[in-house]
């Protein structure tokens, strides 16, 4: 079985780890943690190094990695780690929990995580390094930009388009046909009925 390393070992990492184990495609060789190069991560899986060890791990023969740092409100940390892994040469697969429902022909970008019971419907396109979290719904014809996070229980109705590095908060609903600009944040639990501008933080009106 092919080995994979997980970069980051916080709460999001535990969810991804469980999905990978249920997939049965990879054996998790260990975690990489920025400031804790020893001990164990979630599930008792060892922390085998820090960010500075990524090239050494690659040279040892482990050529597949996945970023398990959560969104943290912005995708900049995930983007930095993605760039470092790609520069070294790692393969970065998408990880899709077996309980998620994906329509045929859906496009999922590399490094994206699709969590438990998420639904992605016909014609949707999900960019690189996104998080489509537990129970989120991305309806038909939606487009989610790179490094974006559609949080737990949120809903993108048909034809919604998001730019890069967008956060749609937990339980939010974005009405069909809405565009959400690059770097925008949609607050938890709100209903979005009009376009959200680039960089705007929207908590409802």
Per-residue model confidence as pLDDT tens digits over 59-74: 999 999 999 998 766 6
Cα gap 90→54, rounded to integer Å:
9
- Higher pLDDT, residue 73 or 40: 40
- For the entire predicted model, the pTM comes to 0.95
The two beta strands, 125-126 and 107-108, are: parallel
List the alpha helices (DSSP H) in the chain: 11-23, 54-59, 76-88
- Is the domain of 197 the same as that of 126? yes
Choosing from 68, 88, 108, the residue where a domain stops is 88
- Is the domain of 18 the same as that of 119? no
The two beta strands, 149-150 and 167-168, are: parallel
% of the chain exceeding 90 in pLDDT: 85
- Is the domain of 7 the same as that of 28? yes
Task: Render pLDDT for 117-141 as a digit per residue (tens, 0 to 9).
Answer: 999 999 999 999 999 999 999 999 9
The answer to which of 17-31, 38-52, 158-172 has the lowest mean pLDDT is 38-52
- Is the domain of 60 the same as that of 103? no
Helix (H) or strand (E) holding 114: strand 113-114
- Is the domain of 99 the same as that of 186? yes
Q: Which domain holds residue 198?
A: 94-205
- Is the domain of 84 the same as that of 115? no
Residue 91 and residue 63 in contact, taking contact as beta carbons nearer than 8 Å: yes
- Considering Cα of 156, then 198, then 108, then 16, what sign does the dihedral take? negative
If one counts the domains in the chain, the total is 2
What does the pLDDT average to over 44-61? 93
The CATH number covering residue 109 comes to 2.160.10.10
- Is the domain of 101 the same as that of 165? yes
Cα gap 176→159, rounded to integer Å:
6
- Is the domain of 118 the same as that of 132? yes
């Amino acid at each position: 079985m092919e080995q994979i390393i997980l970069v980051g070992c916080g709460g999001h990492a535990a969810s991804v780890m469980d999905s990978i184990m249920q997939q049965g495609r990879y054996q998790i060789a260990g975690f990489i943690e920025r400031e804790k190069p020893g001990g164990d991560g979630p599930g008792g899986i060892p922390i085998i190094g820090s960010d500075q060890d990524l090239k050494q791990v690659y040279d040892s023969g482990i050529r597949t990695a996945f970023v398990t740092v959560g969104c943290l409100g912005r995708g900049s940390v995930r983007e930095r780690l993605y760039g470092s892994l790609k520069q070294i040469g790692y393969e970065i697969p998408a990880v899709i929990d077996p309980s998620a429902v994906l329509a045929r022909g859906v496009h999922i970008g590399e490094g994206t995580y699709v969590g438990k019971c998420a639904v992605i419907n016909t014609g949707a396109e999900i960019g690189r390094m996104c998080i489509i979290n537990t129970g989120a719904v991305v309806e038909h014809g939606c487009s989610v930009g790179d490094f974006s996070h559609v949080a737990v229980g949120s809903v993108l109705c048909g034809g919604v388009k998001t730019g890069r590095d967008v956060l749609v908060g937990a339980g939010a609903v974005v009405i069909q046909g809405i565009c959400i600009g690059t770097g925008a944040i949609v607050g938890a639990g709100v209903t979005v009925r009009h376009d959200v501008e680039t960089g705007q933080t929207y908590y409802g009106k």
